[in-house]
Structure 1
Amino acid sequence: MWLAALINTIIVTLSVLIHYEFLYRATNLLPKVRIKHRFRILSVVFIALIAHVVEIWLFAIAYFLMSKDKAWGEIQGNFDGSFMDSVYFSFSNFTTLGFGDIEPFGSIRFLVGMEALVGFVLITWTASFLYYEMQRYWDAK
């Protein structure tokens, strides 16, 4: 139980730090680039999407490794244990879409629940960040 909590804490912390760094660096880099404001906003959107994909893959790596050891529980349903199935499962959880075709059992469920919460918070953070950037740079024309 303690090991699961520690691993979950590490993965969640890494996800938040990755997201922070992507947004922080976008904030510092883009004003220095000589492009129109609308392209700055588009750049931030793509940077945020890349950040989300990196975070999703981080969770997918954890699912892939944890699914190989039955001590963490199992992932059943339309899941063959491949890395790409882990990525699909992670995308489904991060976006809180949850198709339901894959179901976790055992200690791994805690990480699955945390990913949904983290995904919701980070997607909301991105939306707030983009709104702020649009207000700051949006052309009044």
Structure 2
Amino acid sequence: MMLQFLVAMLVSLISIGLHALMTVVAVDIARRAGLRHPARPRSHLMGVMMATAVVLMIAHMLEVFVWAATYAIIGVAAAEQGLLYFAFVNYTTLGYGDITPVREWRLIGPLTAMNGVLLFGWSAAVLFEVLRKTLDHFEAAKAPGFTRP
């Protein structure tokens, strides 16, 4: 059982590192785009939010690939059962249950789900903060005395 926790902690740390890197990328893109003063602020805001969401979705997909690769390395289930699918089901907490891990690794699914829940919450927080900062910037641009850079 301890090996399951250690493997899950290692893979979770890798996922968290990936998510941190992709968050930096998403925030940088949002910050650069948010500093513009478009003629159509609503459309621009939609574009900023969509770009941020896409970057975060790519992060989640990469993290699922890391989990699937780990499943293959440790032999959680037979590869022909679809380890990528199994990783997605666990990471997203969907839990169909049509693929089950071997007895020795049965805690890996809930541990994967715990990592996914944490990172989805992180993504929601990032999206909200990007929205808030972009709206704050648009409001500041309307203020008297504001000069465009």
Shared fold, TM over 0.5: yes
Report the TM-score, using the length of structure 1 for normalisation.
0.80
Structure 2 counterpart of 1:29: 29
Q: Sequence identity of aligned pairs in percent? A: 25
Structure 2 counterpart of 1:54: 62
Structure 2 counterpart of 1:6: 6
Shift of residue 25, structure 1, vs aligned partner:
2.0
Q: Distance in 2 between matches of 1:44 and 1:7?
A: 30
The yes-or-no answer on 1:135 pairing with 2:132 is yes
Structure 1 counterpart of 2:17: 17
Structure 1 counterpart of 2:49: 41
Q: How does 1:45-124 map to 2 (within 5 A)?
A: 45-67=53-75, 75=77, 80-82=78-80, 85-124=82-121
- CA RMSD between the two structures: 2.1
Shift of residue 28, structure 1, vs aligned partner:
2.1
Structure 1 gap ranges (5+): 68-73
Q: Distance in 1 between matches of 2:118 and 2:4?
A: 21
Looking at CA atoms only, which structure, 1 or 2, has the larger radius of gyration? 2
Cα shift readout 1:61-99 (whole Å, capped 9, x = no counterpart)? 0111222xxxxxx53xxxx523x8000000000110010
Cα shift readout 1:86-125 (whole Å, capped 9, x = no counterpart)? 0000000011001010112333223222110010111111
Q: Distance in 1 between matches of 2:95 and 2:2?
A: 26
Structure 1 counterpart of 2:142: none
Question: How many positions carry a matched residue from both structures?
Answer: 129
